[in-house]
Structure 1
Amino acid sequence: MGVAIRAAGEDDRELVVRLLDESFQDDPVSAWVFPGAAYRRRTHHRLMAAFTDLVLAEGRIDVTEDGAACALWLSVPADDAGGADDSPAQLRAAVDPDNERVELIVRLMARVHPAGRAHEYLWMIGVTPGRQGEGLGTALIESVLDRCDRENLPAYLEASSDRSRRLYERLGFASTGPALDLPDGPRMWPMWREPRPPAH
């Protein structure tokens, strides 16, 4: 039985923010950005809301019909080099002004993001904790990867845990360059997937 997936709209904003907040409470990178469980519970949702708003405006959010999982995608054009702008500082000011790691994580991710080729960027994927391991995340990713294959587009993401890295490897992603070691924190793995030729 397939997983029903639809594109999220503005009406789904609170659902997506809640899903991401719950899904990433125990994530190593979220724990680094917002150290301490109580602080993270108070503050983490503001960063997830900022990410949700950005992708609703500029990209695409897919949700499972039952609201248990979501994926945030951005289409990155070939000439986008990422890099130097003041949006990370604006994000920090909006989310948690005294927390320099909110700004730093965005700058470090931009530094390792490949430039030069158009690609689909899986910014985040969240599955509600009670439903993880059921294949919902895989279904969300595969629906976009199928389109990438048809349109001959690569895909990119950063894995934030060993578990997610292994999942992405099964979907055809491979590490691209060295891992990103956050200062006094966990490791992230930039991963790239070349489009697969259609099966005959």
Structure 2
Amino acid sequence: MPQARLLQPTDNLEIAETLARAFQNESGWSYVIPDPKLRARRLAGAFHLFLRDEHRKGAVYGTDGVEAVTLWRGPGQARDSMFDTARMIIPFVQRLRFSILRGLEVANLIEKHLPTEPFWYLHYAGCDPAFQGKGFGGAAIQAGLERADQDGLPAYLETADEHNIALYQRFGFAVKHSWQVPEGPQFWGMQRPGKTRH
């Protein structure tokens, strides 16, 4: 079985490339950057920007060869502060250009649906398509869930691809709500209850 480990900022280049391949055909990013060629060119740069904060705000787990990655934000870190948003907006505009408007639309809707109680947030989970179905993604997800369980806290995520629902249900997540981006994809918010500490 593949094993997952805590990844470090020195792994960010590989992490961004893996996530870019994983999200190339994902519904949310396909809405934000509709042109597939443009999406292929810009996704790795966008994920590299996300990774500036992810290690600090939570934990990044991945398999040994970075075939699969999960970005987790810890309790109280799911929502970006005004300072973080202001600091990141210019680099994101440079990466995404006009796609930033759709990106902000999706990000605002996601934030409105985040839980209010403390939780661990599975911000992104992705597996290189060449390694899907081989347990790599599951290992990266499980590593983050074990971290959430140490705190006895629930875990939350959202997905814009309906076929992912069954995958996350196998890890104990259940659909909490769903919402539609106007003229865009549907999202499902899923939550896994916290484990009681002994």
Relative to structure 1, the CA distance from residue 72 to residue 83 in structure 2 (aligned partners, 3 Å threshold; closer, same or farther) is closer
**Does structure 2 conserve the Cα–Cα contact (< 8 Å) formed by 1:83 and 1:111?**
no
Matched position secondary structure for 1:195: coil
**Does structure 1 conserve the Cα–Cα contact (< 8 Å) formed by 2:78 and 2:121?**
no
Aligned to 1:137: 137
Distance (whole Å) between structure 1 residues aligned to residue 97 and residue 29 of structure 2: 16
**Correspondence list, 1:29-178, <5 A:** 29-77=28-76, 82=79, 85=82, 87=85, 90=89, 92-99=92-99, 100-115=101-116, 117-177=117-177
TM-score of the pair, normalised by structure 2: 0.87
**Percentage of matched positions with identical amino acids:** 26
What stretches of structure 2 of length at least 5 have no aligned partner? Answer: none
Matched position secondary structure for 2:98: coil
Q: Kindly tell me the number of residue pairs found equivalent between the two proteins.
A: 194
Which stretch of the first structure deviates more once superposed, 146-155 or 62-71? 146-155
Distance (whole Å) between structure 2 residues aligned to residue 57 and residue 137 of structure 1: 22
What stretches of structure 1 of length at least 5 have no aligned partner? Answer: none
Quote the RMSD (CA, aligned, Å): 2.3
TM-score of the pair, normalised by structure 1: 0.87
Relative to structure 1, the CA distance from residue 146 to residue 84 in structure 2 (aligned partners, 3 Å threshold; closer, same or farther) is closer
Post-superposition shift, 1:197?
4.5
